Amino acid sequence: MAQDVSNDLAAQVQQAFAEKQALYIAGSGSKLLSGRAVSTQPLEVKEHRGIVEYTPSELVITARAGTSLQELESVLAESGQMLPFEPPHLGEGATLGGTIACGLSGPRRPYAGSARDFTLGVKMINGQGEVLSFGGQVMKNVAGYDASRLMVGAQGTLGVLLDISLKVLPQSACEHTLVMEMDATTAIAMMTQLASVALPLTGACHLPATSEQAAQLWLRVSGAKEAVTAAVAFIQKQLQEQAQKWTQGAQLTFSEREKKKGDGQAGAFWRDLRERQLPFFTDTDALWRLSLPAATPMFAEILPGACLLDWGGAQRWLKTGVSADIVQTAAQKMGGHATLFDRHGAMLAPLSPALAKIHQQVKMAFDPEGILNPGRLYEGL
């Protein structure tokens, strides 16, 4: 049932500010491991829910932070539309607020854009209990910095999200997935080449070899049927022409799985990849997420271990036994950064002194007493 409890939430933050009582912004709990653990008084926001405004012809939807992703996506699907950044749920009851606060995007992210790219505006409560609004309901609505996008990925450390306006897009008329046995080095070359061509790619993932199956490259193309058919033919032709230039890992065995609405084996694969439910993710080993330039070569000599490539190579999930210092230093040298996910939550790479100072200044502007999700992103912030 839709309801607006923003006044009650603002009153609770005002009281916490007066008492200098730290708060942990709590929704469904599906994103607990997406940041550092916080042990403070909870501020429950999941009752602040419901669609505020939706105009399909304008491709814009505004919903309260406690609205479930499932409800939001169902409403959009009724009008043949979708959230373009393909957000992970990562658990039952996942909410819009938690998704935006964590800045989460799925396999479509490099090709369609991120959660930040599609956030048009937010209403929020700052650390003093004041209700503020930023942005609006159109793509170009402000002069200067758009503070609404600053909230995406801030993990609630700058404010309590109330309402969020998002740009949405029509669903693809057709999708087609190709699966090829291929080693990682060859896959990176293939994904890099395809990224330079105007193709309707919406997913590119490489799975490491296991005792049950060879390493595989998965490619997804989406769009109008004619565009998808042409893209599949182009990819197949490129593989056949270029295979001799790459390592012998490429075996031109195509497994083509066509779908329209996420059903079938291909749909299940992309859904499980998005939700981190593939077998690669299901053990209890510590997991590193490396954000790197997509064409970065494989690094087994430096960071040994199983590695899954997503986002065309720009997002790499690594299971390794080497120390955190070695992983983070290696990622930095390769032009990226590394985040550790374990049973205690996510640990980001330490900030440089210059960046830490900027973070502290922004935090002070929105939350002068530091009561909102303290330490959720970085220690001391």
Phi, psi of 364 (to 5 degrees): -65, -35
Question: For position 34, what pLDDT does the model report?
Answer: 66
Positive or negative: CA dihedral 164, 166, 172, 178: negative
Asked if residue 196 and residue 167 are part of one domain, the reply reads no
* β-strand partners of 54: 61
- The share of the chain scoring above pLDDT 90, in percent, equals 75
Asked if residue 18 and residue 131 are part of one domain, the reply reads yes
Asked if residue 153 and residue 62 are part of one domain, the reply reads yes
Q: How many residues does the chain have?
A: 381
User: What CATH number should be reported for the domain holding residue 245?
Assistant: 3.30.70.260
- ∠ CA 302-308-311, nearest 5°, is 110
Asked if residue 176 and residue 164 are part of one domain, the reply reads no
Domain presence at residue 164: yes
Asked if residue 85 and residue 25 are part of one domain, the reply reads yes
Asked if residue 242 and residue 190 are part of one domain, the reply reads yes
The answer to whether 201 and 220 are in contact (CB under 8 A) is yes
- Reduced to 3 states, what is the DSSP secondary structure of residue 265? helix
Domain presence at residue 272: no
**pLDDT tens-digit readout, 258-285:** 444 445 789 999 999 999 999 999 887 7
Domain presence at residue 122: yes
Asked if residue 135 and residue 51 are part of one domain, the reply reads yes
User: What CATH number should be reported for the domain holding residue 289?
Assistant: 3.30.70
| Burial (0-12, 13-18, 19+ Cβ within 10 Å), 367 | buried
The answer to whether 126 and 107 are in contact (CB under 8 A) is no
Asked if residue 227 and residue 132 are part of one domain, the reply reads no
Lowest mean pLDDT segment, chosen from 119-128, 211-220, 298-307, 346-355? 346-355
Q: What's the domain count of the chain?
A: 3
Domain presence at residue 180: yes
Predicted confidence (pLDDT) at residue 375 exceeds the cutoff of 60: yes
**pLDDT tens-digit readout, 38-55:** 778 999 999 999 999 999
Q: What is the pTM of this model?
A: 0.90
Domain presence at residue 100: yes
Distance CA 161, CA 6 (A): 10
Domain presence at residue 16: yes
Domain presence at residue 89: yes
Distance CA 148, CA 167 (A): 13
Asked if residue 161 and residue 179 are part of one domain, the reply reads no
Domain boundary among 193, 227, 260: 260
- Reduced to 3 states, what is the DSSP secondary structure of residue 237? helix
Asked if residue 186 and residue 121 are part of one domain, the reply reads no
Run of H or E including 342: strand 337-342
User: What CATH number should be reported for the domain holding residue 117?
Assistant: 3.30.465.10
Q: Which residues of 237-269 are buried (b: 16+ CB within 10 A; e: fewer)?
A: eebeeebeebeebbeeeeeebebeeeeeebbeb
Asked if residue 158 and residue 116 are part of one domain, the reply reads yes
Which domain, by its residues, includes 183?
172-260
Domain boundary among 260, 276, 310: 260
Domain presence at residue 254: yes
- The share of the chain scoring above pLDDT 70, in percent, equals 89
Asked if residue 17 and residue 166 are part of one domain, the reply reads yes
Distance CA 373, CA 143 (A): 29
